[in-house]
């Protein structure tokens, strides 16, 4: 395969719309969640709802934009059959950092390249690429809908160049 640097469409908008979709699902049951969840995760969820108030965008508008972005990505895949990017858009955060004062922002910032697959229903695969400064690294590979075969082919190519990475001991 030939490697070219390219920017997939509207990554920031996809993450924003995904957050609105997520909070529209969470908000109706947030009070009931409090009965079974600890204060840290509840604070993070409430922060997400505050940051991405589901009433700020109507459901029809959200889904219309979702469809439009899905079409843009399909057009993009006509030129670039695979998209390879980071699994996380930052180094892994310290244990419980997602539950702190800025927990919702920490979480949202980390998911910048994960949300397209979730929001647009794209096939993807993650491949470990090693360890940097004691932390695991990896890439995520996307293809157009119904092209899981391309994701797996891309993953096989990455693995053939890097070798199979064995799991590391987690650090807490």
* Each residue's pLDDT tens digit, 12-61: 899 899 999 999 999 999 999 888 988 888 888 888 888 899 999 999 99
Q: Does residue 2 lie within any of the structural domains?
A: no
Q: Does residue 40 lie within any of the structural domains?
A: yes
Q: Which residue has the higher pLDDT, 130 or 151?
A: 151
Q: Does residue 47 lie within any of the structural domains?
A: yes
Number of structural domains (the chain) is 1
Task: Identify the CA nearest to 42 among candidates 97, 95, 99, 94.
Answer: 99
Give exposure, 83-114, as e/b (b: 16+ Cβ within 10 Å).
bbbebbeeeeeeeeebbeeebbebbbebbbbb
Q: Does residue 38 lie within any of the structural domains?
A: yes
Domain CATH for 36: 3.90.1300.10
Prediction pTM value: 0.80
Q: Does residue 116 lie within any of the structural domains?
A: yes
Q: Which domain does 120 fall in, by range? A: 11-162
């Amino acid at each position: 395969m030939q490697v070219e640097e390219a920017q997939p469409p509207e990554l920031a908008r996809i993450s924003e719309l995904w957050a609105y979709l997520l909070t529209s699902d969470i908000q109706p049951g947030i009070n009931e969640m409090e009965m079974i969840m600890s204060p840290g995760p509840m604070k993070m969820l409430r922060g997400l709802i505050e940051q991405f108030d589901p009433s700020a965008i109507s459901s029809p508008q959200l889904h219309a934009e979702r469809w439009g972005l899905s079409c843009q990505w399909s057009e993009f895949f006509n030129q670039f059959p695979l998209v390879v990017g980071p699994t996380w858009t930052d180094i892994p955060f310290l244990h419980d950092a997602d539950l702190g004062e800025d927990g919702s922002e920490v979480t949202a910032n980390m998911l910048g390249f994960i949300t397209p697959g979730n929001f647009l229903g794209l096939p993807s695969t993650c491949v470990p690429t090693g360890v940097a400064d004691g932390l695991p690294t990896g890439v995520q590979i996307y293809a157009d809908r119904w092209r899981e075969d391309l994701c797996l082919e891309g993953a096989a190519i990455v693995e053939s160049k890097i070798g199979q990475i064995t799991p590391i001991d987690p650090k807490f």
